[in-house]
Amino acid sequence: MSARYELRFSGSGGQGMILAGIIMAEAAAIYGDKNAVQSQSYGPESRGGASKAEVIISTQPIDYPKATAIDCMLAMTQEACSKYHYDIKPGGILLIDSNEVKDVPKGHFKTISFPIIETARKELGKTIVANIISLGMIAELTGIVPHEAVEKAVLARVPAAFVELNKKAVQIGFQSAKGLK
Amino acid sequence: MAEHKKKLLQGNEACVEGAIYAGCKFYAGYPITPSTEIAEGLSVRLPKIGGKFIQMEDEIASIAAAIGGSLAGLKSLTATSGPGFSLKQEGLGYACIAEIPLVIINVMRGGPSTGYPTGPSQADIMQAKWGTHGDHPAIALTPAYVQEILTETVRAFNLSEKYRTPVIVLYDEIIGHMREPITIPEPGELEVIDREKVTCPPDEYFPYDERFEVPPLAPFGTGYRYHVTGLNHKKDGFPTNDSKQINENNLRIMRKIENHKAEIWKNEEVSLKDADVAVFSIGSTARSANFAVKAAREAGIKAGLLRPLTIWPFPDAAVKELAKRVKAIIVPELNLGQMVLEVERCAGGACKVEGIHRVDGEPITPAQILEIIKKHAK
Amino acid sequence: MSEGTVAKKQKLSVPFDYDKYLRPKKLPHIWCPGCGHGIVLKALLRAIEASGLNKDDICMVSGIGCSSRTPGYVDFNTMHSLHGRAFAFATGIKFAKPNMKVIVITGDGDALAIGGNHFIHTCRRNIDLTVLVYTNAIYGMTGGQYSPTTPLGDIATTSRYGNIEPPFDACKMAEAAGASFVARGTAYHTLELEKTILEAIKHKGTSVVDIIDACPTYYGRMNKYKSATHMMEVIEKDGTVSVKQADKLPPEKLEGKLLRGVLYKTDRPEYCEQYATQVMGKATGK
């Protein structure tokens, strides 16, 4: 990996993008052997609006905590995609929800399109775990953090009653992304 | 597993850990973005350890209640952000003149007024020193990393107890809200200073005894019945109209900090020894500066960083010395020019001083700083 | 009931050793001749004696103003705090050390104007503070400006054409905000006041005593009162009716008069106890 690997999780407030970012950072820094910082930018809305979380992963100490050139970005809504895709670096990855993002931005990056929310609904009956599915997908697509660490980090963050649901969600994420690389 | 001692915490959560580690047992506050997580965390943690948490009706009441808690013997904390810090200035002055230990966290946000509540800022640097009226001592600490928010919160409590004075911790929204892996220190790993116990008989006790540089403070309700006031006072705490005593009262509270600046100062230096161009910066901006300095070094430029963790008292000695041996000191800060004035004062024309300022709610990027480093390296 | 019977029933000890509670070296006080604050202090000290409290366990906190100079003269743990903020400082002390008896000394400007919000929320929490509001309808320390209790039409240095702001009733506000003990007394009815303050001190929860007292220097002179005693007679004696007398009087006789005595008293959970049992209890799983 390069000195900094930069991830951005974006969507609308309430979709769990910040939680996805936190879990990714924990997977890298607590359950993995790398450094990570997670930051976020948000407006006054608790629900709705565009929200983003950024995670910088590195083998070195991390000084600047914000993104400089994004290696991989997730966009769960059109608004977030349009607003935040501007600094994906050439050769980077843009993962979008295919049902939500219709106006696909063009750039020197690879766009991967998948019905993330629909999968959550169809496979697990709960759209709330769409963020965990996307987390699994990003882990698979980027290879930046081992699957085991991601799963541990997910399970450490969710209430006991939802462990099985989230376990399935993260596995669906890993599997779904396999054929898309 | 040793690795699990590490936790991914938000800056504000690390502040909670620092307060608990330091022995804080009293918190009074009022909700305000972006510092509220400190109140939320302590509302859960303090009652578990016999501590007191209260959400007051406003910012002024919060600092007043915290001063009351401290006077009753508990290490006390209040936390706020820019506009709330403005409201707390009257209480801050009271704590200065009445010499009540207290820690105030200010997670700086954009302003003036309501400004940009969810955006970062470093615009309260001068307010921390000059916000309350009258001449008074000021100690303000400026952590830049989540781990440092913990350790500097502990240091803030230590300094406040040691010097019987309010201590301010200033950090910006970025590090207040970002998460970073940190290690919670074991008990005994960091120094914790507790309030000096008063042992003399009550009739020999004077709360502002001039024989001491920092007279010990007896908690209320421990048999030492004395008077506390915001008026200029004599050694017994009672108001005075005597100009000599007023003067002595005002000078002593300054002197007790002024005489110990060297112990209160704390600077981190990055590749500064042979630097031609130096950056002087705090908080999240210093992280950008660190990045820029490393990039400059990679490009063959002799750049370095002076990062104060104590911004008040201002690190005069370090800046004066630095100014003599570099071509320029660059001062990036998330405001329209505050620290840069102090740096200019200390540099006294010995080198160029250039500020980089930003007030759009976005951080100063490493690229912005690198550009100015390159300009001065030529 | 006349004042004489109140005194007889209570059997308050006379003579009384005031020096036990005063800081003689800090006297004389700054109050003007004819000011009622000294009379209130006398009633307060006698009530404290009757309460049996230990001086080390008493904390007195004041704000800023003439009445707020009281703590300097008495031998307790005393704090002269900031204008309007005595409630908040006192809340901090009480919450940190619930075994202390914390008494707040405040004036009408201090408590009801600059400190109005703190006053309301103190009552709402029902934290165990004894609050004495010295109501003299003027800002005395700054030289006689109209206050939140200055009657309509009255003259002050900032209402030369007559005050147009309706006054507050501190008791009604305290009750509405949630104080569990609300009373009124006057400097004129000294023995009754002593008894009322004692009851307030003994009450657990926020107890508010609105004390009508006179400022002859500013309010009196500007509003054509002949003397301090004239003010006491008109404002305190004739301007008030005890709650017990009021029951027997027709409504027209009560017109424009303030009620004296304990106006409201109830048992309501006290803040520090709630914190100890509810919050700390749940937090520690006890």
CB contacts of B3 in chain A (<8 Å) are 30-31
**CATH (domain of B361):** 3.40.50.920
Pairing, β C181-186 against β C258-265: antiparallel
Q: Is residue B56 one of the residues assigned to a domain?
A: yes
Q: How far is CA C160 from CA A175, C155, C235, in A?
A: 83, 5, 21
The residue range of the domain holding C100 is 10-284
CB contacts of A68 in chain B (<8 Å) are 365-367
Least confident of A12-16, A87-91, C18-22: A12-16
Q: How far is CA A138 from CA A66, A69, C278, in A?
A: 19, 17, 45
* Mean pLDDT calculated for residue range B135-142: 97
Q: Is residue B246 one of the residues assigned to a domain?
A: no
For residue A105, is the peptide bond before it cis, meaning its omega torsion is within 30 degrees of 0? no
**CATH (domain of B25):** 3.40.50.970
Last residue of a domain, one of B142, B163, B183: B183
Q: Is residue B279 one of the residues assigned to a domain?
A: yes
Of B48, B52, B67, the CB nearest to C95: B52
Report the distance separating Cα A139 and Cα A150, nearest Å: 7
Residues in chain B: 378
Of B65, B225, B229, the CB nearest to C92: B65
Is residue B21 located within the same domain as residue B113? yes
Q: How far is CA C3 from CA B97, B321, C264, in A?
A: 45, 78, 20
Report the distance separating Cα B3 and Cα B17, nearest Å: 18
Q: How many other C-beta atoms lie within 10 A of the C-beta of residue A53?
A: 26
Q: How far is CA C247 from CA C233, C234, C252, C253, in A?
A: 22, 21, 12, 11
> Alpha helices, DSSP H only, in chain B?
11-22, 36-45, 59-71, 82-87, 89-98, 125-130, 146-163, 173-177, 243-258, 261-264, 283-298, 316-323, 339-347, 366-377
Per-residue model confidence (pLDDT) at position C182? 98
- The answer, for A6 touching chain B at a CB cutoff of 8 Å, is no
- Cβ <8 Å between B65 and C89: yes
- Cβ <8 Å between C121 and B57: yes
Whose CA is closest to B318, among B349, B342, B354? B342
- Cβ <8 Å between A41 and B118: yes
Q: What is the pTM of this model?
A: 0.95
Which 3-state string (H, E, C) describes A96-159? EECCCCCCCCCCCCEEEEECHHHHHHHHHCCHHHHHHHHHHHHHHHHCCCCHHHHHHHHHHHCC
Q: Is residue B316 one of the residues assigned to a domain?
A: yes
**CATH (domain of C209):** 3.40.50.970
- The answer, for C211 touching chain B at a CB cutoff of 8 Å, is no
Residue ranges of chain C whose pLDDT lies below 50: 1-7
Structure tokens of B180?
Answer: 């970073």
Q: B118 vs B129, which has greater pLDDT?
A: B129
* Strand-by-strand arrangement of the C181-186 sheet: B227-229, C77-80, C58-62, C101-107, C129-135, C207-212, C181-186, C258-265, C240-242
Collapsing DSSP to helix, strand or coil, B7 comes out as strand
Whose CA is closest to A36, among A57, A59, A18? A57
What is the torsion angle, in degrees rounded to the nearest 10, for the CA atoms of residue C198, residue C202, residue C208 and residue C212? 0
- Cβ <8 Å between B175 and A65: yes
CB contacts of A36 in chain B (<8 Å) are 8, 180-181
Q: How many domains is chain B built from? A: 2
Q: Is residue C4 one of the residues assigned to a domain?
A: no
Encode pLDDT of B294-304 as tens digits. 999 999 999 99
Give the gap in angstroms from C-alpha C59 to the nearest C-alpha of chain B. 8
Per-residue model confidence (pLDDT) at position C6? 47
Confidence of residue B87 (pLDDT cuts 50, 70, 90): very high
The residue range of the domain holding B328 is 266-377
* Mean pLDDT calculated for residue range A142-164: 95
Residue ranges of chain B whose CB lies within 8 Å of a chain A CB: 3-4, 6-8, 117-118, 174-175, 177-181, 284, 287-288, 290-291, 294, 363, 365-367
Output the CA angle B319-B258-B169, nearest 5 degrees. 70
Q: Which of C48, C62, C97, C118 to mutate to test the interface with B (most CBs of B within 10 A)?
A: C97
Report the distance separating Cα B15 and Cα B39, nearest Å: 10
Q: Is residue B143 one of the residues assigned to a domain?
A: yes
The residues, ordered by sequence, that sit 6+ positions from B374 with a Cβ below 8 Å of its Cβ are B296, B299, B301
Structure tokens of A79?
Answer: 């608004």
Confidence of residue A3 (pLDDT cuts 50, 70, 90): confident
Encode pLDDT of C204-236 as tens digits. 999 999 999 999 999 999 999 999 999 999 999
Q: Write the single-letter amino acid at B340.
A: V
Output the CA angle A49-A97-A150, nearest 5 degrees. 95
Q: Is residue C234 one of the residues assigned to a domain?
A: yes
Is residue B155 located within the same domain as residue B283? no
Residue pair C191/C1 in contact (Cβ under 8 Å)? The answer is no
Report the distance separating Cα A170 and Cα A168, nearest Å: 6
Residue B173 has pLDDT above 90, yes or no: yes
Per-residue model confidence (pLDDT) at position B156? 99
Output the CA angle C78-C81-C84, nearest 5 degrees. 130
Strand partners, B354: B330
CB contacts of C94 in chain B (<8 Å) are 68
> Alpha helices, DSSP H only, in B122-242?
125-130, 146-163, 173-177
Least confident of B33-37, B119-123, C14-18, C255-259: C14-18
Give the gap in angstroms from C-alpha A123 to the nearest C-alpha of chain B. 31
Structure tokens of C52?
Answer: 């049996």
Instruction: Identify the CATH assignment for A5-178 out of 3.40.50.1370, 3.20.20.220, 3.30.413.10, 3.40.920.10.
Output: 3.40.920.10
CB contacts of B7 in chain A (<8 Å) are 30
- The answer, for A3 touching chain B at a CB cutoff of 8 Å, is no
Residue pair B28/C264 in contact (Cβ under 8 Å)? The answer is no
Structure tokens of C73?
Answer: 């003269």
Per-residue model confidence (pLDDT) at position C286? 74
Confidence of residue A2 (pLDDT cuts 50, 70, 90): low
> Alpha helices, DSSP H only, in chain C?
3-10, 37-51, 86-96, 108-109, 116-125, 170-177, 190-202, 221-222, 228-231, 243-248, 251-254, 271-274, 280-284
Report the distance separating Cα C50 and Cα C54, nearest Å: 11
Of C55, C95, C118, the CB nearest to B225: C55
Q: Is residue B239 one of the residues assigned to a domain?
A: no
Give the gap in angstroms from C-alpha B177 to the nearest C-alpha of chain A. 7
Residue pair B336/B357 in contact (Cβ under 8 Å)? The answer is yes
The residues, ordered by sequence, that sit 6+ positions from B342 with a Cβ below 8 Å of its Cβ are B314, B319
Task: State residue B312 phi and psi, 5-degree precision.
Answer: -130, 130
Give the gap in angstroms from C-alpha C5 to the nearest C-alpha of chain B. 36
> Alpha helices, DSSP H only, in B106-214?
125-130, 146-163, 173-177
Q: Is residue B257 one of the residues assigned to a domain?
A: no
Q: How many other C-beta atoms lie within 10 A of the C-beta of residue A105?
A: 16
Is residue B161 located within the same domain as residue B284? no
Q: Is residue C201 one of the residues assigned to a domain?
A: yes
Report the distance separating Cα C174 and Cα C266, nearest Å: 13
Name the one residue in this structure whose structure tokens are 């050769």: A91
Last residue of a domain, one of B164, B183, B202: B183
Q: Is residue C5 one of the residues assigned to a domain?
A: no
Q: Is residue B161 one of the residues assigned to a domain?
A: yes
Residue pair B60/B132 in contact (Cβ under 8 Å)? The answer is no
Of B25, B220, B230, the CB nearest to C82: B230
Is residue B162 located within the same domain as residue B279? no
Per-residue model confidence (pLDDT) at position A165? 96
Confidence of residue A1 (pLDDT cuts 50, 70, 90): very low
Encode pLDDT of B235-283 as tens digits. 999 999 999 999 999 999 999 999 999 999 999 999 999 999 999 999 9
Give the chains touching B; criterion: ≥3 Cβ pairs < 8 Å. Answer: A, C
Residue pair B288/B122 in contact (Cβ under 8 Å)? The answer is no
Report the distance separating Cα B350 and Cα B363, nearest Å: 29
- Cβ <8 Å between B290 and A68: no
Output the CA angle A14-A17-A19, nearest 5 degrees. 95
- The answer, for B20 touching chain C at a CB cutoff of 8 Å, is no
Per-residue model confidence (pLDDT) at position C11? 54
Give me the residues of C, 33-72, that contact B with CB < 8 A.
Answer: 55-57, 59, 61, 71-72
Report the distance separating Cα B14 and Cα B35, nearest Å: 12
- The answer, for C280 touching chain B at a CB cutoff of 8 Å, is yes
Confidence of residue B119 (pLDDT cuts 50, 70, 90): confident
> Alpha helices, DSSP H only, in C97-189?
108-109, 116-125, 170-177
- The answer, for C116 touching chain B at a CB cutoff of 8 Å, is no
